[in-house]
Amino acid sequence: MGYRNLSACVRDLERTGQLVRIEAEVDSRLEVAAIQRRVCQAKGPALLFTRVRGCRFPMLANLFGTLQRTRFLFRDTLETVERLLRFGSDPVALLKNPRLWPGVLLSAGHLPPRTVRKAPVLACRTSIDQLPQLVCWPKDGGPFITLPLVYSESPDAPGFRHANLGMYRVQLAGNRYRVNREVGLHYQLHRGLGVHHAQALRQRQPLPVNIFVGGPPALTLAAIMPLPEDMPEICFAGLLGGRRMEMRPQTGRPAIAAQADFCICGTVLPGKTLPEGPFGDHLGYYSLQHDFPVLEVKAVYHRPDAIWPFTSVGRPPQEDSIFGAFIHQLTAPLIPRLVNGVRAVNAVDAAGVHPLLLAIGSERYTPYEPRRQPRELLTQAQALLGTGQLSLAKFLLIAAAEDANDLDVGNVAGFLRHLLERVDWRRDLHFQTRTSIDTLDYSGPALHQGSKVVIAACGPPIRTLPTALPSDMPLPSGYTAPRLILPGLLAIQAPPAASPRGEADARIEAFCASFDAGHPILRFPWIVLVDNSDFCARSLENFLWTAFTRSDPAIDLYGIEAKTQLKHWGCAGPLVLDARLKPHYPEPLQEDPATLRRIEDLAACGRPLHGIL
């Protein structure tokens, strides 16, 4: 049976040696977040900070910091959930295994939430300024809740059947928020809360919202699961947690998760927005200040033994990378049923998840052709770009399973090599321009706006990829330090970007036009222009982060011997990607030096974090 509440989870982790209490006083401004990031990267234990400066609530870090611990939290239910999801992709297989029916029926009984009259979370009241004021990065606009569970019910059809539980960041103070009376509610594109907000605006009514913090770990995982719209997250939490979620009804308001540690009750007023941010985000940069909805706070509750769980995001990998890996393990069997012919997908964590999606599909439309080219792959690519949060992908690279039995989306280097051996840039680039992209991605011409490209490749190899740099490869003035990233993939250090946002760079077009036939650079099918080629070539992770978080396909893809024919753009020579930091782009996240010195002192021999960091 799963955990009823967070306190039970903490006790279990401490009993099994997977949690360490930190009794030394720590600061919720910068310090605890920096500690959490380091412990997570070291694959360390969960941490319970019992003395947080200026706050009476303990803070819990790194709860999901390793995949092994995350699976441990759901050890009682995980096998059944994985089996159900697997059979969800093949329900006939379940019918053929009647011995599994009792376990399936028992698990299905945990789906509907249980209505309760008593809710521990309502036992005590407090105010916003008494909550932990977590600031993760030096230039954050204020304190944030980083594991918020935002619960709303459909104004058109109230009740849990049409409810949404999502993780949308919440700014507790700063900017122009009225102290203790307003908090910022930042939700991105393709989020269920936006559907409910739109319904409320159509009715010209305020939208009541509850923000939970803590509670059973299953609530947190359910809030970030990419579930079908007809599957309420609160129901999946019951399935994953091995017990029905306890919900306390409220007259005229959404229900309250009875076993949550904290609950902020409020209302989103029609038409009201205020500046929210900046915030150091999971792409590894600051998301800048923009207007977002405001929650007018009505009440703040907490249970007597309340614990404040938190995480800190930044350039991957971080704790949210574990979320992604865990979700991928659960949902991988559903992919073939989600899009016919697609075998596997990988939203690449090192590239910031949404910027780069790899996929393996099938190419079965014209098996009689002597030389196959992408046809079915393009159908599958468009389906993927119309499916849930996969629709936020910016670069979708898709290859055919028939070309290599060992092709694996998890092996990013191998996948790129396979694709570069086969891709024909004159034919295999397919753009969507002036479309929506991830809210946190600043590579496009404006907030929420950008482009996508599908790169589809199939058939036998058409080139041999160079595996070493030529001894003599002259470059135009200002372009230096060529570095081999992978076979066929070259990084070149370029002059700093200077073009206005959303405009092509004439200097890159001149770079592409400067090479004569026979130049050794033409042997490399893909060239990436960067600010620091040594950094980019140091690791595959550096390349993925640099190349795909700093570029928009329509703006930043150029080509040698490029031309447009019947509105289709392509190039006979190498594809050139401009992955420099543009003048408008937010700066990469940097640690506070004074905070790092304090952490080093806490990690010294005999100090509280010695042996953990």
Specify the CATH number for the domain of residue 489.
3.40.1670
Q: State pLDDT tens for residues 534-593.
A: 999 999 999 999 999 999 999 999 999 999 999 999 999 999 999 999 999 999 999 999
- C-alpha distances in angstroms, 226 versus 165, 230, 231, 323, 359? 11, 12, 10, 12, 17
Q: Are residues 168 and 270 in the same domain?
A: yes
How many CA atoms, within 13 angstroms, populate the side-chain half-sphere of residue 259? 25
Encode pLDDT of 326-347 as tens digits. Answer: 998 888 888 887 888 999 999 9
Map residue 569 onto helix, strand or coil: strand
590 located within any domain: no
- Provide the whole-model pTM: 0.93
Structure tokens at 345: 């997908």
**59 backbone φψ class: left, alpha, beta (φ>0; ψ -120 to 50):** beta
Shared-domain flag, residues 440 and 529: no
Do residues 247 and 323 both lie within one domain?
Answer: no
**Domain-located, residue 88:** no
DSSP code for 349: G
pLDDT at 100: 54
pLDDT of 92 > 60? The answer is: no
As a whole number, mean pLDDT of residues 494-501 equals 96
Q: Is 443 exposed, middle or buried (0-12, 13-18, 19+ CB in 10 A)?
A: buried
The more confidently predicted of residues 191 and 506 is 506
Q: Is the pLDDT of residue 18 over 80?
A: yes
170 is written with which tokens?
């919440």
**Rounded to an integer, what distance in angstroms lies between the CA atom of residue 57 and that of residue 188?**
29
Q: Do both 434 and 569 map to the same domain?
A: no
**Closest Cα partner for 590 from 26, 159, 185, 37?**
37
Q: Are 360 and 399 in contact (CB under 8 A)?
A: yes
Per the model's pLDDT, the better-predicted residue between 611 and 246 turns out to be 246
Domain range enclosing 556: 480-578
Inter-residue contact 289 to 175 (CB < 8 Å): yes
CA distance 116 to 121: 12
Going by DSSP bridges, is the β-strand pair 207-213/163-166 parallel, antiparallel, or unpaired? unpaired
245 and 153 share one domain: yes
Q: What is the mean pLDDT of the chain?
A: 92
N-to-C CA span, the chain: 33
Identify each DSSP E strand in 195-238 by its residue range: 207-213
Pairwise CA distance, residues 59 & 132, whole Å: 8
Whether 172 and 240 share a structural domain: yes
Q: Are 315 and 284 in contact (CB under 8 A)?
A: yes
Q: Which of 408, 148, 138 is nearest to 280 (CA)?
A: 138
Least confident piece of the model among 172-176, 230-234, 366-370: 366-370
Alpha carbons 557 and 537: distance in angstroms, whole number: 20
Is there a contact between 348 and 410 (Cβ–Cβ < 8 Å)? no
In this structure, are 205 and 333 located in the same domain?
no
The pLDDT-based confidence of 89 (bands split at 50, 70, 90) is: very low
Please calculate the CA angle 608-611-613 and round it to the nearest 5 degrees: 85
Least confident stretch, 89-98, 131-140, 389-398: 89-98
Instruction: Please check whether residues 181 and 328 belong to one and the same domain.
Output: no
* Domain final residue pick, 256, 290, 310: 310
Residue from 567, 545, 544, 569 nearest 559 by CA = 569
**Maximum separation of any 2 CA atoms in the chain, in Å:** 79
pLDDT band, residue 95 (cuts 50/70/90): very low
Show Cβ contacts of residue 132 under 8 Å, excluding neighbours closer than 6 positions.
Answer: 28, 52, 55, 57, 59, 143, 308, 310
**Would you say residue 608 lies in a domain?**
no
Do 13 and 153 sit in the same domain of this protein?
Answer: yes
Compute the distance between CA of residue 590 and CA of residue 135 in angstroms, rounded to an integer: 14
**Tokens describing residue 600:** 């080093």
Within-domain flag for 422: yes
Q: Do 47 and 140 sit in the same domain of this protein?
A: yes
At 507, which helix (H) or strand (E)? Answer: helix 506-512
| Sign of the torsion formed by the C-alpha atoms of 315, 318, 323 and 325 | positive
- 253 forms beta bridges with 250
With a pLDDT cut of 70, the percent of the chain lying above it is: 96
Within 13 Å and on the Cβ side, how many CA atoms surround 552?
Answer: 27
Residue 337 has a pLDDT of 78
Which of 283, 310, 337 is where one domain is finished?
Answer: 310
CATH number at residue 338: 3.40.1670.10
Q: Does residue 441 fall inside a structural domain?
A: yes
Dihedral (CA of 536, 537, 540, 544) sign? positive
Q: Establish if 604 belongs to a structural domain.
A: no
69 lies in the same domain as 141 = yes
Which residues are registered as beta bridge partners of 397? 358, 455
- pLDDT(175) > 60: yes
CA distance linking residue 261 with residue 602, whole number of Å: 29
Residue 206 sits in a domain whose CATH number is 2.30.110.10
pLDDT in tens, 518-535: 999 999 999 999 999 999
Domain's final residue, options 276, 291, 310 = 310
Count of domains observed in the chain? 3
Banded pLDDT at 94 (limits 50, 70, 90): very low
Q: What is the mean pLDDT of residues 23-28?
A: 94
Structural contact between residues 528 and 545, judged by C-beta atoms closer than 8 angstroms: no
Beta-bridge partner residues of 301:
125, 263
Residues 99-123 have pLDDT tens digits of 554 566 567 788 889 999 999 999 9
Q: Within this chain, do residues 263 and 332 fall inside the same structural domain, yes or no?
A: no
How far from 164 is each of 152, 175, 219, 230, 341, CA to CA, in Å?
5, 28, 12, 10, 30
Omega before residue 278 within 30° of 0, cis:
yes
Q: Is 510 inside a domain boundary?
A: yes
pLDDT (tens digit per residue) in 244-301 = 999 999 988 999 999 999 999 999 989 899 999 999 999 999 999 999 999 999 999 9
What integer pLDDT is reported at residue 189 of this predicted model?
Answer: 66
Q: Which of 181-190, 432-441, 556-565 has the lowest mean pLDDT?
A: 181-190
Cα of 250 vs its chain's centroid, Å: 32
User: Is 186 among the domain residues?
Assistant: yes
Give the model confidence (pLDDT) of 438-459 as tens digits: 889 999 999 989 999 999 999 9
Question: Please, are residues 64 and 322 in contact by the beta-carbon 8 Å criterion?
Answer: yes
